[in-house]
Amino acid sequence: MPPTPGVDRRTLLRRAAAVGLLATPAAGLLGGCVGGGDAGAPQQAQGEKTADNPLGVKEDAELEVVIFNGGLGTKYATDVHIPSYKQKFPKANVKFSQTEEVATVLQPRFTSNTPPDMINNAGSKLMDQGALVQAGQVQDLTELFEAESLDLPGKKVKDTLIPGTIEQGTFNGKPYVLNYAFTVFGLWYDSTLFEKNGWVPPKTWSEFTALCDKIRAAGVTPYSYAGANAAYYQYLVLLTSAAKIGGPDVLKNIDNLEDGAWQVDAVKQAAAAWAEIGAKYGNKAHLGLKHTEVQLQQNQGKVAFYPSGSWLENEQAKDTPPGFTYAVMPVPSVTGSDKLPQTAIYAAAGEMYFVASKGKNPRGGMEYLRHMLSKAGAKGFTELTKVLTVVRGATDGLTISPGLTSSEAMLKAAGTDYFSYRWDTWYKKLDDECRAATNELFFNGGTAEKFCERMQKAANAVKKDPSIQKFTR
């Protein structure tokens, strides 16, 4: 996500490439942003802190907001969050813009210390969040999380959030990013098509491959993703399999750049399993396609399983034909001795939003996030995007879509067995390398050994590079 982790969002999803880091991470960013120091930094708006204005927003200060236009769209900003902010600060002009290429548009502005105030950092051309933090370009959000909730008097913002939310956006002990969309990842399919054909969602790997054989025999591509910009969807499910096989510490060790973390048996087994799926059940023509193109093929009944986050249903809303019913299932267990159950899933706060520390109105930027984190703001977001947020109880009473219903059911079944990783947003070089390595593994006859060796070499290079700040969890 979400994506928003092309619209390669996202993120969470993933959703990391910053100021100058489209091809060469930290060096370009740090040279441009840090080298200039505070020269030319704007005078920042400051209002009086009161019980009704806990962040000290200047009531007539302009606020600039940039939102990624991807799978989640932008109506949640224009129709929910901006009106909420304007209602509280009617004298303030909110300058809004949207983009599908966040880094391309915003890199020059961060380099010149003239950034917008609040940014949704997502998409295939998102900014390297770790490098932005390292360069001092990101506002510490401690004040936001300690402030009173907008619509729950007596409660701090931090107390209204799903556990783990703040930690997901924390870099070396300080919260710099709001990961707002609570995204669940799995294998998406059309439940109507499956019911029509008597196809039952598999739980084990043998059931998965047996079903893929049946699907292929019916003239449908059993499983695929878009190689042009959505390889991270695939490496996400690969690493989900690795975590199920070996436990969540497999991912923690990768995050922390532990020696040999990419070469443990769990990662090798997962890579081998998914390499086989690519060789037998994928479509090599999808290597050059974008995510929306493969997703459209799924809507047309040409692809059965598609890996994605829970933004998918909303992203495809305009192209989803009547009778197509989105549903999602966990990644099947690879072995009979996986450390985590088949119901375990990758689920995490994703879709990064942050405030520029050198913007004209960082206090307004934090206030904008406070409106996003209100119950009303979160409910409006979910109604428009069909994606959950990190605000607890925000969907109470909502009539939700089939895909979101399926997502919630999968999350409920997982219980406490859900996990995530952070390395992709911390280290853009690793994200780039893993996308390429995953495409090789899935589409071009790569092997598990080559994949693991390639990724370990890339991780070692990041670990040894003194110009890249390291993060741990």
Which residue did the predictor score with more confidence, 35 or 412? 412
**Most distant CA pair in the chain: distance in Å?**
68
Dist CA 294 CA 101 (whole Å): 20
pLDDT category at 400 given cuts 50, 70, 90 is confident
What is the structure's pLDDT at 21? 31
**Cβ-based burial of 51 (10 A; exposed 0-12, middle 13-18, buried ≥19):** exposed
Query: For residue 127, is pLDDT > 80?
Result: yes
pLDDT category at 164 given cuts 50, 70, 90 is confident
Q: Do 199 and 187 touch, CB atoms closer than 8 A?
A: no
Query: For residue 24, is pLDDT > 70?
Result: no
φ/ψ of residue 149, rounded to 5: -60, 145
State mean pLDDT over 107-113: 93
Question: Which range, of 160-164, 285-289, 335-339, 340-344, averages the lowest pLDDT?
Answer: 160-164
State mean pLDDT over 250-264: 98
φ/ψ of residue 63, rounded to 5: -120, 130
What is the structure's pLDDT at 41? 57
The alpha carbon dihedral of 68, 69, 73, 77 has a sign of positive
Q: Which two structure tokens, joined as six digits, stand for 432? A: 């780039």
Query: For residue 18, is pLDDT > 70?
Result: no
State mean pLDDT over 215-234: 97
Which residue did the predictor score with more confidence, 36 or 342? 342
State mean pLDDT over 125-132: 91
The 10s digit of each residue's pLDDT in 284-295 is: 999 999 999 999
Question: Which range, of 12-26, 55-69, 168-182, averages the lowest pLDDT?
Answer: 12-26
The counts of H helices and E strands in the chain are 20, 12
pTM: 0.80
The 10s digit of each residue's pLDDT in 415-462 is: 999 999 999 989 989 999 999 999 999 999 999 999 999 999 999 999
pLDDT category at 123 given cuts 50, 70, 90 is confident
In the CATH scheme, what architecture does the domain 25-183+347-399 have? 3-Layer(aba) Sandwich (3.40)
Query: For residue 364, is pLDDT > 80?
Result: yes
Residue type, 243: A
Q: DSSP string spanning 148-202?
A: BPSSSTT-BGGGGBPTTHHHHTEETTEE--EEEEEEEEEEEEEHHHHHHHTPPPP
Q: Indicate the average pLDDT of the chain.
A: 90
What is the structure's pLDDT at 124? 79
Q: Do 369 and 354 touch, CB atoms closer than 8 A?
A: no
What is the structure's pLDDT at 216? 98
What is the structure's pLDDT at 40? 52
What is the structure's pLDDT at 374? 97
Name residue, tokens 């950034």. Answer: 115
